Amino acid sequence: MMTRRNKILVTVSVVLGIVVIFAAAGLFFRSANHANRSRQQKTVAVNHSTTPVLFVHGWGAGLHSQMPLAKKAIREGVAQKGLYVYVGPSGQIKMYGHLPAHPKKSPEILVKFPNAYIGEFQEAAELHKILVLLKQRYHVTSFNAIGHSMGAYALVTQSERDGNSRQIPRVNKLVLIAGPYDGILDRGKWDQPTSGKLSRLWDDHPNQNRLLKNGQPRIKHPEYRLLMRNRRNFPHQAHILNIYGNVENGSNSDGTVSVTSVLSLDSILKNQVAGYQKFATHGRLAKHPYLETKNKRVQNEIIKFLWGTRS
């Protein structure tokens, strides 16, 4: 038979055991939460940039060509919706959406030009005005950008003209997809101008040109000479990803821009910037309009480049 003293000792032991269990459980959960927070903080530090990213389309394109990559970046958790920027026929700029002062992810800024056929030099001029407004209205201090085709050329042109201006945010990373830095293939297609200044940009032919040992093209078209002449004005802090495609049909091109034309950018910017990378893709999905819209390898490489490390 248990004495009163023994009952008290048992009760005290049980209570102390319960206290120890709860204390241990509390310590475990605090440690787990701390470890989870540490992992989250490490992930954010390594994988997330909050730098706004501009999407700049090329000839004959628009928002529809930017959406696949823009939506993928949002699904991947590295970007968020930001602004739609419309440039009117007379150059007026309208911005729709929201650009938070302290975003948790990169806000996307999708640019739509008044028509899809204004050309790379007019795009560059409009881009400068957009960047001025982004700094004035939203206090944007730095930006990344993705340009396809003439949009890529426009980004390079704008950066050479005004990239070091204090009126605009500092360029950080540029993804340049299939830029026609030394000509566009003259294919005689319906969307190709046959008169005026822009028609002169379709001045390349399959396998007509090649790169020399110094990295420069054998045939230097006016659009290449312009970029080469102004290369030292390009912001030196920038990082470049130059993407090109080869459909492997014997033309050594993506069907619109030759590999030589795209890679001629090497001789212009490789020694002018803080970082310079190239990425090649081959086959059916290396076709010019597919590079940004349908090519998953290209899309993944872009996301890795822009968000793989903190900007």
Q: Return mean pLDDT, the chain.
A: 85
Token couple for 309 = 């490390």
Length in residues, the chain: 311
CATH entry 3.40.190.10 includes domain 50-307: no
Q: What is the largest CA-CA distance in the chain?
A: 112
Which helix or strand (DSSP H or E) is residue 15 part of? helix 4-47
Quick one: angle between helices 120-138 and 150-162, nearest 10? Answer: 60
Which sequence spans correspond to the domains of the chain?
50-307
Contact 198, 118 (CB under 8 A): no
pLDDT tens sequence for the chain (311 residues): 444 444 444 344 434 443 433 343 343 334 333 433 333 333 333 346 899 999 999 888 888 899 999 999 999 999 999 999 999 888 899 999 999 888 999 999 999 988 767 888 999 999 999 999 999 999 999 999 999 999 999 999 999 999 999 999 999 999 999 999 999 998 777 677 676 777 777 788 999 999 999 999 999 999 999 999 999 999 999 999 999 999 999 999 999 999 999 999 999 999 999 999 999 999 999 999 999 999 999 999 999 999 984 43
pLDDT in tens, 183-196: 999 877 767 767 67
Can you tell me the distance from the alpha carbon of 122 to that of 87, in angstroms, rounded to the nearest whole number? 11
pLDDT in tens, 142-201: 999 999 999 999 999 999 999 999 999 999 999 999 999 999 998 777 677 676 777 777
Token couple for 211 = 């790169």
